[in-house]
Amino acid sequence: MKKSINLFKNIIFSNFRRLSSPYKVTFALTYKCNLRCKICNIWKSQSLGEVTVLEIEKIFKKIPELNWVDLTGGEVTLRENSLDVVKVIIRNSEKLSIFHISSNGQLSDKLIPLVEVILKTGVIPVVNISIDGPKGINDELRGGTDTYVKSIETFNSLKKLRKGHYHLSCTISNYNINYIDELLADLSRDVSRFSYSDIHFNVFHNSPHYYNNEGIDGLSGLDLGILKTYLGLRKKGSLFKKIIEDKYVKGVFVYLKTGKVRAVKCQALNSSCFINPQGMVYPCLIYNQTMGNLRDQDYDISRLWNSPDVFMVHGKIKEKACPDCWGACEAFSSILGDINGSLKMA
């Protein structure tokens, strides 16, 4: 309860001022991946020199306001000591309330123990299992064998756990938009007690330093009418969820029509940031602007967070001189961190 209050307090404060340290950190644990998706080249990125468990401990000891961590990859379960990493993050983040993991769901036997560890601590696990199409199409788009079957098995296992929030996550692009009806039909058959709130739809983004997918065109020719139907499925659930999802969907359409999201202030470097597997800090997954390496700062994020260079980049983000994206990773903290701007989104 105390942790939830602290998260709520930081969300409210982030509406009015820059926090003294981030309350939300996205941490890419590894760029290794066992899939070869058509829209993502993370697996081609550098996987040498990843921060060790000892270094991760030092980093998380020094993020005093951390309430919400996003552990992502590559594929987090490929990191040989991922269980130790999860334990170390929780042990050293006394205000941690939400532990989000993104996974491709291919290694259920490695992912489920991570979630069980989180559940034992009272921190809320939020896990997204990616899926981009019906059975055959998913294998084709994700560059693997039985990828659909493995993801569904993992998701069904997660749904059996007593607490936590578990979703399938589908990134819509021009590669898969024509197969979403088929995907939904397959999910109705294969997911236990399937409902539309089990699946989240996001939209393709380019990012040179994260997805490593410059030159891949995932948006041309996307039919916005069809897209609207699928994104509309996000607006199911509680009233709070409906309102937040409604704002997210509106932002997607503003972004796709104009290439910009002017109405809402982004929370990157105001209350959140991204750390890559080698300890480099960036504002987010999309803006390719390095802030420095935590290894050169005694693993102390506050030193970077409060440096003139970071203030300068934060100023650029406020002026929307960044790519001004609407990636799901930052969109939700931005909706919550700029309630005024979000309410103005028509």
CA distance 186 to 215: 31
Q: How far is the CB of 72 from ligand SF4 (least distance, A)?
A: 8
Asked if residue 104 binds ligand SF4 (CB under 6 A), the reply is yes
268 touching ligand SF4, by CB under 6 A: yes
CB of 219 to ligand SF4, least distance (A): 15
Q: How far is CA 11 from CA 20, 27, 66, 164, in A?
A: 13, 19, 12, 21
Phi-psi region of 298 (alpha: psi -120 to 50; beta: other; left: phi over 0): left
287 binds ligand SF4 (CB under 6 A): yes
Q: Does the protein bind ligand SF4 through residue 66 (CB under 6 A)?
A: no
* CA atoms of 110 and 103, how far apart (whole Å): 11
283 lines the binding site for ligand SF4 (CB under 6 A): yes
Q: Between 82-91 and 53-61, two packed helices, what is the crossing angle to 10 degrees?
A: 20
Question: Alpha carbon of 304 to those of 68, 215, 312: distances in Å?
Answer: 19, 31, 12
CB nearer ligand SF4, residue 41 or residue 121: 41
Told to check if 266 binds ligand SF4 by CB under 6 A, we report yes
Residue 327 and residue 341: Cα distance in Å, rounded?
17
Which string of x and - marks every residue 158-177 that binds ligand SF4 (by CB under 6 A)? --------------------
User: What residues have CB less than 8 Å from 48, skipping those under 6 apart?
Assistant: none
Helix axes of 147-159 and 135-142: crossing angle, nearest 10 degrees: 110
Closest CB to ligand SF4 among residues 180, 268 = 268
Per CB under 6 A, 337 contacts ligand SF4: no
Nearer to ligand SF4, 234 or 314 (CB): 314
Does the protein bind ligand SF4 through residue 345 (CB under 6 A)?
no
| Identity of the residue, 90 or 111, whose beta carbon is nearer to ligand SF4 in the bound complex | 111
Binding mask 304-323 toward ligand SF4 (x if CB under 6 A, else -) reads -------------x----xx
- Among residues 33, 177, 304, 345, which is the contact residue for ligand SF4, using CB under 6 A? 33
Determine the Cα–Cα distance for residues 308 and 293; give it in Å rounded to an integer. 15
What is d(CA 334, CA 341) in angstroms, rounded to the nearest whole number?
Answer: 9
Cβ-based burial of 344 (10 A; exposed 0-12, middle 13-18, buried ≥19): exposed
Q: Which is nearer to ligand SF4, 11 or 37 (CB)?
A: 37
Could you give the CA distance from residue 42 to residue 29 in angstroms, rounded to a whole number? 12
Window 139-158: contact mask with ligand SF4 (x via CB under 6 A): ---x----------------
> Which residues here bind ligand SF4, judged by CB under 6 A?
33, 35-37, 40, 42-43, 73-75, 104, 130, 142, 266, 268, 283-284, 286-287, 317, 322-325, 327, 330
